[in-house]
């Protein structure tokens, strides 16, 4: 008996040029937003205390940690949202 080979079908897929979702300006804005968020996080981080057994109220609740750092993080998140929703320029 002769063996039958299964029928094979070939499909051709045409390559379409892909375009990026984000433009170069969008990527720079995203990078700027990440940098500002990182700066806010670094400002919120505290240094070591000289004596870990004592609580330094002024160091923990400083203006830098309670006000400036969260504002920078929110600004960075706003820049990220703007960079994602900004439409790239069409030619």
**3-class secondary structure for 32-77?**
HHHHHHHHHHHHHCCCCCCCCCCCCHHHHCCHHHHHHHHHHHHHHH
Tens of pLDDT, residue by residue over 56-72, are 888 888 888 999 999 99
Q: Does the predicted model carry a pTM greater than 0.85?
A: no
Mean pLDDT of the chain: 85
């Amino acid at each position: 008996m002769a063996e039958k080979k299964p029928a094979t079908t070939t499909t051709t897929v045409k390559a379409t040029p892909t375009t990026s979702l984000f433009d170069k300006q969008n990527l720079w804005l995203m990078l700027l937003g990440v940098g500002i968020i990182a700066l806010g996080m670094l400002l919120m981080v505290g240094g070591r205390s000289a004596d870990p057994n004592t609580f330094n109220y002024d160091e923990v609740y400083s203006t830098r940690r309670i006000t400036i750092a969260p504002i920078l993080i929110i600004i960075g998140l706003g820049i990220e949202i703007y960079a994602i929703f900004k439409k790239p320029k069409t030619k």
